[in-house]
Chain A
Amino acid sequence: MKPQSAFPLLLAIALAPMVQGIINRTKAIVAGRAGQPLMQPYLDLAKLLRKGAVYSETASWVFRTAPAVGLSAIICAGALIPFAAFPSLTHFGGDLVLLGYLLALGRFAIVLGALDTGSSFEGMGASREIAFAALAEAPLFLALAAIVRETGSLSLTPALGAVSINVWNHAAPSMCLTIGALLIVFLTENARIPVDDPTTHLELTMIHEVMVLDHSGPDFAIVQYSAALKMWFLGAIIVAIAVPWHVGNALADAACALAGIAALGIVTGLIEASMARLRLLRVPTLLLTAAMLSALAFVMVAK
């Protein structure tokens, strides 16, 4: 384990909430508003961390443990994801499978925390979140299988590192399809439009936000921060495929990848500014489309 392999995780821990700021700013500019400062998500987290907490009388230890388990699972998932030329903290054959299951554990914990409150709103959010995430498993794994097939590596660090200009030159269509599938998974997992609308005002139409309705103070800060980290890590995978230039200088490559993450934030913001949330009944169809895209990408790299 080299010291620089801690870099991807540290970078994420420091910069993850910024993506949220970029998305909000993009939406504001498109709508002709000045918008919040880029650092607003940090300010929100700091404010929440300074507060006390209110717990539901119905809730048990599950509700109090869930945010910690959720954050821990996301941090462990982040330890498997490389950033530009920097390898991940730990990597081994099949680590992409563990990544999927760590994300699932984080979600499992938060969903149980939601059910612990006995609220029908939170039950509703939990039900939707876990159902859509279950449907997003197959496209995520198929897209990663396409990358494995293309690069011949079973681990994220070498596999994503091997996606170069050369790969794009002879497999551009399937790389595009993979990115398309991963983008849908990214929007679903992070509760963004067109799957979920983070700024909606009605609990009945929410997914992620309503699921964490009863968390307050530091617990809520942990939940929000975990969500930011998850967005960063899934985004880093997409960027690693979409930005295949390797200059040779590790810092220059990292700057490229950072620009890629910012661009992903802008794209997400533009998607949110330009379309409405899908009806909930249509979301499974969207995820089926993602599965088809990634299956097609696999067929094209398998030849």
Chain B
Amino acid sequence: MAGLLLSIALFGAGAAGALIFANHGRWTTYAGVGGVVAGCAVGIVPALRAALGGPVESIHAGWAVPYGSFFLRLDALSGFFLLPVFAICPLAAIYGAGYLEAFRPKKSLAPPWFLFNLLAASMAMVIVARNGLLFLAAWEMMALSSLFLVTFEDEKEEVRRAGWIYLVASHAGTAFLFALFILLGRAHGSLDFDRFDASAGTGLLFALALIGFGTKAGFVPLHVWLPQAHPAAPSHVSAVMSAVMINTGIYGLLRVFTLIGPLPAWCGWLLCVVGILSALTGALHALAQRDLKRLLAYSSVENAGIIALGIGVGLIGIASKSPLVACAGFAGGLLHLLNHSLFKSLLFLTAGAVVHGSHTRDLDRLGGLLKRMPVTGVLFAVGAVAVSALPPLNGLIGEFLVYLASLRGIAEFDGGGLTVLVSAFAALAAAGGFAAVAFAKAFGIAFLGHPRSESAEHARDPGWTMLAPATVLAAACALAGSFGARLVAAIAPLIASITGMPDAKSYLSGAANAVAHVAFVGGALAGISLVVMAARSRLLAGRKVRSALTWDCGYYRPAPRMQYTGSSFVQPLTAAFAAVLGTRIRVIEPRGLFPSDASLTTEARDPYQDRLFASLFGAIGRGLSMLRPLQQGLVQLYVLYIAITLIALLLWQFA
């Protein structure tokens, strides 16, 4: 616990240092990065020990705020969720040092480094806080520090807009958390987590947690802020938000589940339905995007859905008293969360390198980057294979366990649980197919073929500060894919504490064995590929191997503009799913014998935002505008309001 407090103190020192050295050139960066790296290095040791099932430590101190207390606890669940915070933040910070360097002549770098340290500290605080008020304070600090990081480039209209949407969404979500904690703490008049009880009704508490925490995790239809806010931030912040901050929503859900005890079966079903909806919607929208970083953000929605599916399947397993389904479901969800943190941060960091090198995020203006940015290209390819859950990398491990849990349920269960599980199984398959399309597009259109614009033509690999963190993450993806079975065994104590099944390790042994087989086949896959490659080179040695133009039906001068674009690549699917995607296509058709202009523009819109939330917030806005006469701008009037309020309060108190 002392290590954890020291780590948070180091974040604080980093934040202070960034402000103190604000006018000392690079020193503000050194202080900011130093704080994050030192804090994480100190914190990861106790986090790892706790995650592997070490002793639970806690601190309980008073706090002058009513109902508040300085109550921290580090158990297996907290330790597990701290791991991505402490592993990803330092890598993102080192990357950020290189990424933000380009802004130094124009902007002060003190605020982003101050806020980045604050963000890391508040995420760690959220995960260890055990008092409602302390938790909400940390939650709010996390939301605000990330908000001001998102709006770093606030001279851009779309960034300001994304910031507003993010601010509204995160506070709407937090409102549900206030209600949740008030209901949980009502019976004992305390907001300490260990005094909480479920007297308000498990179903209501579950629903509040699902909405409040689901907003942060990006569950559909509460996700609309995510594809706006995550891409607008500087890329190292996008990586932390998509790969780490989403996890705090999942953490909140799991923490509430462990606090309110056994849940009725329909909670698992509802979470599965939310997961199915998020996985399918996220994957379909991801493939329709033209903006590389927005594609990645929608993919985070998809992966949050897969994590929710794993937890939902686990809940169904608990409700159906099937330990095999329960343990494999939770293990799948949690391992996918860990793996998602690795490959999604890798993808955002490499996408940031693309933006850095080519100054555009529009896939239809990129192309041919693999020859211009060879290192970035290989690293992005690793991330793309991992996120598409293809063997032999780590993306498959967690998903495989979720599949396995639902298959087990498909073989054993009857009734409603069976329907939900088979839908989950088919939805995972379909979402997997769509994700593969999305990332074949992201890598294929951006990195392969010819450059589609002048700026893509001149893109170059960034410096080592930006490449090294991504390289570490790519290696981690390969390692986690090879040693998946070890990971399953390692989180057995955590699964035991979540499911309340002390024998989780033995229930998971079959799943671990299957994952070991998957890794073995992955190894064989790599080996056979090398053998085939070698055989091919041998065959070609000494034969005539020529280079020529790409075959285009005998056409003599192929040009970059003739290539398939990203939008045309996904057209069969965007056309088939036009009803749910809301892709806008504007065509100006060529007219006459000698047409002078013709054009086609595609734009991927989010129908949840356009139809659901736009009309909802429009109605709220119209309703509130009726209150506008209250605002007259006269000081006397506001004094009158205060007086009326005071009198009303006095009457209420004494009447």
Residues of A at the B interface (CB closer than 8 Å) are 49, 51-60, 62, 65, 67-69, 71-73, 75-76, 79-80, 90, 92-95, 97-98, 100-102, 104-105, 107-108, 111-112, 115-124, 126-128, 130-138, 140-142, 145, 148-149, 152-154, 203, 213-214, 217-219, 222, 280-281, 284, 291, 295, 298, 302
Contact = CB atoms under 8 A, between A and B. Distances in A.
Contacts of B370: 60, 62
Contact of A51 (B396, B408, B543, B553): B543
Given A130-B436, A152-B411, 16 more contacts: A56-B551, A57-B548, A68-B529, A90-B521, A93-B514, A94-B407, A104-B436, A116-B448, A119-B551, A131-B570, A131-B572, A137-B432, A145-B422, A217-B543, A295-B426, A302-B418
Contacts of A126: 440, 444, 564, 569
Contacts of B530: 68
Interface in B510-551: 510-511, 513-514, 517-518, 520-521, 524-526, 528-530, 532-533, 536, 539-540, 543-551
Given A52-B543, A131-B572, A119 B563 contact: yes
B199 interface: no
B466 to A, nearest CB: 22
Contacts of A107: 436
B517 A90 contact: yes
25 contacts: A51-B543, A53-B540, A54-B545, A54-B547, A72-B529, A72-B532, A80-B521, A98-B518, A100-B432, A108-B440, A116-B444, A120-B552, A123-B449, A123-B568, A126-B444, A134-B430, A137-B430, A137-B432, A138-B426, A141-B426, A148-B410, A148-B411, A203-B553, A217-B543, A302-B418
Nearest to B440: A111
B309 to A, nearest CB: 14
A94 B553 contact: no
Interface stretch (B13-21, B382-390, B610-618): B382-390
Contacts of A60: 370-371, 448
A16 to B, nearest CB: 16
Nearest to B371: A60
Contacts of B570: 127, 131
Contact of B572 (A104, A217, A219, A280): A280
Interface of B: 367-368, 370-371, 381, 385, 388-391, 396, 400, 403-404, 407-408, 410-411, 414, 418, 422, 425-430, 432-434, 436-437, 440, 443-445, 448-450, 510-511, 513-514, 517-518, 520-521, 524-526, 528-530, 532-533, 536, 539-540, 543-553, 558, 560, 562-564, 568-573, 575-576
Given A119-B558, A131-B570, A131-B572, A68 B533 contact: yes
A104 B388 contact: yes
A132 B560 CA distance: 26
A68 B569 contact: no
A98 B450 CA distance: 34
A80 B568 CA distance: 35
A118 to B, nearest CB: 3
Contacts of A295: 426
Contact of B407 (A58, A72, A115, A154): A154
A71 B532 contact: yes
Given A56-B548, A118-B550, A73 B410 contact: no
Contact of A92 (B517, B549, B560, B573): B517
Contacts of A142: 422, 425-426, 429
Contact of B546 (A54, A90, A92): A54
Given A101-B396, A115-B448, A120 B407 contact: no
Contacts of B545: 52-55
A222 B573 contact: no
Nearest to B571: A127
A149 B422 CA distance: 10
Given A108-B390, A130-B437, A152-B411, A90 B550 contact: no
Contact of A101 (B381, B389, B543): B389
Nearest to A150: B411
A145 B425 contact: yes
Contacts of A105: 385, 390-391, 525
The 9 closest A-B pairs by CB, nearest first: A123-B564, A134-B433, A118-B449, A115-B444, A141-B429, A52-B544, A137-B433, A131-B572, A72-B528
B256 to A, nearest CB: 30
B572 A127 contact: yes
Contacts of A54: 545-548
A37 to B, nearest CB: 25
Which one of A58, A117, A122, A284 has the greatest number of beta carbons of chain B within 10 Å? Answer: A58
Given A57-B549, A73-B525, A108-B385, A118 B448 contact: yes
B436 A298 contact: no
A93 B443 CA distance: 32
Contact of A79 (B388, B524, B550): B524
Contacts of B572: 127-128, 131-132, 280, 284
B574 to A, nearest CB: 9
Which one of A203, A291, A302 has the greatest number of beta carbons of chain B within 10 Å? Answer: A302
A242 to B, nearest CB: 22
B520 A90 contact: yes
B448 A154 contact: no
Contacts of B427: 138
A107 to B, nearest CB: 8
B197 to A, nearest CB: 39
B602 to A, nearest CB: 14
Given A118-B550, A298-B422, A112 B532 contact: no
B550 A222 contact: no
